[in-house]
Amino acid sequence: MHAPVTGESREPSRHLGEPSDATTGPEDVVDGLRRVRRQGQIHRGKLPHRGPVGRLDDRVARALLAEAGLVGWARVRSGHNAVYRSPDDAQIAKVYGEASRCSVDVTGARRAREAGVCVPALVATPHPRVAVWQRVPGVPGPIGPAAWARLGIDARRLAAVPVAVAPVHWLVNVTERASVLEQLAAGTPTAYTGPVALPAQVGADVAWLAHELRSVAECDLALDAPLAFQHGDLSPANLVHDGRRLHVIDFETVRAAPADWDVGCLVAATRRYGTVPTRELAPFLESLDPAPDPELLALCVRTKELLNASWLAVIGADRPELVGELRLRVRSLRDGTAYRWRELGGLAAQVV
């Protein structure tokens, strides 16, 4: 949306069903997730729909902008969504791959802003697939302790939003990703790809990721964790520094998750990609009230790392330009091999 702190793309979620404003189903959400362990099923909560992986064509995006009455806007970047800047540089228009993702983003940002979180103002939604936001110019350079400390306060404010309005339980994403990986490793079609014959070593890596994600979804710590409203992908890529404060953007991944999920996402991003030195997070971590639960935070960090690595398998297990990075990420997670994960720029931008 706005110029992010880093170019690393976001990890999306996917579901073939239509979106809902709240997790729905005939049973309590926690009871539904407990059934994961007993029956291998998932709760009926829905993730925002997304179409096949791919870049949103500029002609399609501009046609949607025209339908929204926005003419002469300059493209900033494109991926599964596309971002455009107004002629006067005062506003940003985000064109979404699907209307449901626009709805989730707008609703999540509104809830966060109402809770006092520093979020760019929504100007208008002139089309079901277009949202216009006030542009926050990003300021390059180091982020000061005060900005990080304010983000910690905002993280806890976000967690205070009623969890019932979150569109999906976090373990739905985890179990769904595991299912896709299992299909991929078996050479069967997935929601993203047709049948793919993977080399044996790559297939083993994909199967390992699936097993690890299943283990997360079935462990008592994950199943018993109290739920909170969470951004879902709080990372440097989804923060804009205006020189004083950090603005949180892109709420498409909102979910009901442990209150330390967003903290874990930020820790995972800084630890694996190094775009922000981990030591600079100290003011952020110190300002969290209540302080994170160490065991639960470690689980959140590990799960986010598994999701980030596994997304490469989903979009690129058979793509030479991605499979090498996938294998190195798996090795770092499985064997503890020291490796700084690469930012994939335009390749990963397909999944914005």
Report if residue 61 sits inside a domain.
no
Q: Which residue, among 342, 340, 335, 339, has the nearest Cα to 316 in the 3D structure?
A: 342
Q: What is the pLDDT of residue 53?
A: 58
Statement: the pTM of the whole predicted model exceeds 0.75:
yes
Report if residue 99 sits inside a domain.
no
Q: What is the pLDDT of residue 97?
A: 92
Q: State the angle between helix axes of 29-39 and 200-218 in degrees (0 to 180), rounded to the nearest 10.
A: 130
Q: How far apart are CA 325 and CA 330, in angstroms?
A: 9
Report if residue 78 sits inside a domain.
no
Q: How far apart are CA 146 and CA 151, in angstroms?
A: 9
What does the block give as tokens for 249? 């953007």
Q: How far does CA 248 lie from the centroid of its chain?
A: 12
Q: How far apart are CA 235 and CA 256, in angstroms?
A: 17
pLDDT in tens, the chain (352 residues): 444 553 333 333 333 222 333 333 333 444 544 444 443 333 334 454 444 556 899 999 999 999 999 999 999 998 889 999 999 999 999 999 999 999 999 999 999 999 999 999 999 999 999 999 999 999 988 999 999 999 999 999 999 999 999 999 999 999 999 999 999 999 998 888 888 889 999 999 999 999 999 999 999 999 999 999 999 999 999 999 999 999 999 999 999 999 999 999 999 999 999 988 889 999 999 999 999 999 999 999 999 999 999 999 988 888 888 999 999 999 999 999 889 999 875 444 333 2
Report if residue 290 sits inside a domain.
yes
Q: How far does CA 257 lie from the centroid of its chain?
A: 13
Report if residue 84 sits inside a domain.
no
User: Interior CA angle at 47 toward 76 and 318, to 5°?
Assistant: 70
Q: Output the CA torsion sign for 249, 272, 274, 314.
A: negative
User: Other C-beta atoms within 10 Å of 107: how many?
Assistant: 17
- SS3 label, residue 325: helix
Q: State the angle between helix axes of 294-316 and 320-334 in degrees (0 to 180), rounded to the nearest 10.
A: 160
Q: What is the pLDDT of residue 39?
A: 38
Q: What is the pLDDT of residue 237?
A: 92
What burial class does residue 337 get, using C-beta atoms within 10 Å of its C-beta: 0-12 exposed, 13-18 middle, 19+ buried? Answer: exposed
Q: What is the pLDDT of residue 161?
A: 97
Report if residue 62 sits inside a domain.
no
CATH label of the domain that carries residue 232? 3.90.1200.10
Q: What is the pLDDT of residue 5?
A: 52
Q: How far does CA 243 lie from the centroid of its chain?
A: 24
Print burial letters for 161-195: b (CB count within 10 Å at least 16), e (below 16).
bebeebbbbbbbbbbbbbbbbbbbbeeeebebbee
- Could you give the number of structural domains in the chain? 1
Q: What is the pLDDT of residue 49?
A: 47
Report if residue 64 sits inside a domain.
no
Report if residue 94 sits inside a domain.
no
Q: What is the pLDDT of residue 23?
A: 34
Q: What is the pLDDT of residue 177?
A: 95
Q: How far apart are CA 181 and CA 167, in angstroms?
A: 23
Q: Residue 37: give the domain boundaries.
A: 29-52+138-351
